[in-house]
Structure formats: structure tokens, C-alpha cells
Amino acid sequence: MRHLITLDDVSPTEVETILSITHDLKTKFLAGVREPLLPGRMMALVFEKQSLRTRVSFEACMTHLGGGSLMLGDEAGFGKRESLADFASVLSEMVDVIVVRSKAHQTVVDVAAHSSCSVVNGLTDLAHPCQALADLYTIREQFGDLKGRKLAWVGDGNNVARSLAYACVRLGVEFSIATPKGYELDPAVFERLRVQDPDAKLTATHDPREAVAGASAVYTDVWASMGQEAEQAQRVKDFAGHQVDAGLMAAADKDAIFMHCLPAKRGEEVTAEVMDGPQSVVVTQAGNRMHAQKGMLVWLLGAHGDR
């Protein structure tokens, strides 16, 4: 039994396998084929945070694969009616996979420790591995391959940025991040990735133009994520020099794409001109959450055979 808590749980070869399954299933989906590779399988969604893309993409992909899903809201009493250990051990007797979207990363770790079925991280304060898988798939889809590509992150050194750094190193993509002072990605992340791959191309800077130079993909996120609303005013001041606008996109490769994990705030981290412009792939990127999670679930639950 395998879990997907962070991208540390998968090797580069396994990431390639997931993306290969993703491509196969998306190609079939676009041709009108929804291959039922997980008939009778049941997925439980346990969310402590609001969600559109994560919830709908998981529910839709499991239905397409022939399985079922159920969303557990407040009535399930997660973290309230009984211990987390009891909740996880009982729930995992009834379902094949549990997706947890939690305020604290340790909660997902604890659910996995007490589950007899696979557990997937649907977002925590530390990591967002499903988003990163969909993002790398999107870049490959746009350019045909990932060889020689560079992804530039502009903004907060948050959970999405951290997972993207891991995903990029696993697939040989250069990763560069530009943050305001005080919002850097934990240096331990780069140190750990360089131990895993001494040839990894990783750069941290406070200059967005330096980060996007030569980039194939320019990526940003909201300046204040869920749970950081009280910091909104201060963050608007701190991140003022890190907006992705047409000028910054022009500093990247001429065919660079713009990416965002959504939801976005036009006029803050990105201008409407870029968000809605011809270089933006944000809608395709969001749709690929469903396709990448199909690939991940088929791999995780061992239904991929010789693919």
C-alpha cells in the first residue's frame, strides 16, 4: 500500500509513470473514452478548507474511472467527535483511498499512520503534490517535453512553490524562485533537493526579472493564501514589486506560458492583461488537475498494469 503525502513518496521513475498514464487517459478522454480502471473503488474526501478545483477534479476523475466518491463534511465530525486515529482506522476499513485537505500537514501524516488504505494529500500548509503533478504535466503538454525547460516562481515561498521545486528536480526542470524578503522558501528544501540530485538547477532570488530570465513558464499564486487573510494588507505592501505583468512576461522566453494554481486576484499578484492574455494556460492547467489525479489514482491503486 502506498500513500502520496509529499513528492518524497514517489521516485522520478514513478512520476514519469504517473504522467504517462495521465497522458494516455487524457487522450482517451478527449476522444470520448472514459476507461473504467477503478470499478467499485471508493474514495473519501475529508476537507478542512474550501475547495473548487481539488474537490471537483477528484470526484469527477473517480467517476470517470468507474469508482465512487463521498465528501465528508462537518457531519462526519473529523477531529471533533472521536480521535483522529479512530476516525482514520474506521474510515479506511470502508474505502480504498482517503484524500485529506487539511490546515496542518501533520494531520495528513497522522491519518496515513492510522489508515489501512492509501492516503493522498489534497493540500496542506507544507505541500500540494497533486497540484505540482498537474503543473509539470501541463508544461510538458504545452511544449512537447520538459528537456531544457525552466519554471520561474514569482511570489510567496509557500506550499505550492515547495512542491513544484520537488517536482522540477524529479523531472530535470530548472526551478527559480523570486520572493520578497521574509517570504523565502525554506533553504532546507534546496539543501535536501541538492542531496537527492547534485545536478539540480535551483535558484533563489529577490529579483523577479532575474528569476524569469530564460523561463519557459512563469508561475505565481495569491499573496495571502487561505488562513492568511489577516496579513492581507501587509502582504500587499510587501509583494508590490512581485506582480506578474506584461513587462515581466516579456523578460521571460518569448514563448513562455503563464501559470497560476487559482483562485487568482487580478490586479494583485497578476494583471488582468496577463491572466486573460494569450500566454495564459491557467484554464488548461486547472483542467489538468483532473487528468493528473486520474493518473495518480490509477498508479496508486495499482490499476495501471503494463502502462
Residue of 41, 64, 242, 289 marked active site: 289
Would you say 261 is a known binding-site residue? yes
**Mean local confidence (pLDDT), 265-294:** 98
Would you say 262 is a known binding-site residue? yes
| pLDDT at position 267 | 97
Would you say 106 is a known binding-site residue? no
Taking all residues of the chain, what is their mean pLDDT, rounded to a whole number? 96
Residue of 128, 140, 242, 291 marked active site: 128
Would you say 208 is a known binding-site residue? no
Annotation says 106 is catalytic: no
21-47 in b/e form (b: 16+ CB < 10 A) is bbbbbbeebeeeeeeebbeebbbbbbb
Query: Of 27-41, 225-239, 278-292, which range is least confident?
Result: 225-239
Residue of 96, 110, 156, 221 marked active site: 221
Sheet holding 217-220, edge to edge: 202-205, 174-178, 150-154, 217-220, 257-260
Rounded CA-CA distance 280/141 in Å is 14
| pLDDT at position 25 | 98
Angle at 6 between CA 158 and CA 227, to 5 degrees: 35
| pLDDT at position 122 | 97
Nearest to 192 by CA among 147, 136, 103, 126: 126
Would you say 55 is a known binding-site residue? no
Residues of the chain with pLDDT > 70: what percent? 99
Query: What separation in angstroms does the CA of 214 have from each of 95, 157, 254, 278?
Result: 46, 20, 9, 19
Would you say 168 is a known binding-site residue? no
Residue of 3, 41, 96, 131 marked active site: 131
pTM of the model: 0.96
Amino acid at 28: K
Residues 71-96: pLDDT tens digits? 998 888 888 889 999 999 999 999 99
Residues 99-112: pLDDT tens digits? 999 999 999 999 99
Question: What are the structural domains of the chain?
Answer: 3-128+289-303 (3.40.50.1370), 129-285 (3.40.50.1370)
Q: Are 271 and 244 in contact (CB under 8 A)?
A: yes
State the angle between helix axes of 159-170 and 129-143 in degrees (0 to 180), rounded to the nearest 10: 50
Annotation says 261 is catalytic: yes
Annotation says 194 is catalytic: no
Per-residue pLDDT band for 217 (boundaries 50, 70, 90) equals very high
Residues 114-167: pLDDT tens digits? 999 999 999 999 999 999 999 999 999 999 999 899 999 999 999 999 999 999
| pLDDT at position 307 | 66
Would you say 221 is a known binding-site residue? yes
Residues 248-264: pLDDT tens digits? 999 999 999 999 999 99
Would you say 226 is a known binding-site residue? yes
Annotation says 221 is catalytic: yes
Would you say 248 is a known binding-site residue? no
Q: Are 260 and 161 in contact (CB under 8 A)?
A: no
Would you say 2 is a known binding-site residue? no
Residue of 61, 117, 168, 261 marked active site: 261
Per-residue pLDDT at 208 exceeds 70: yes
Rounded CA-CA distance 257/185 in Å is 23
Q: Which three cell numbers stand for residue 65?
A: 474511472
Residue of 41, 53, 101, 170 marked active site: 101
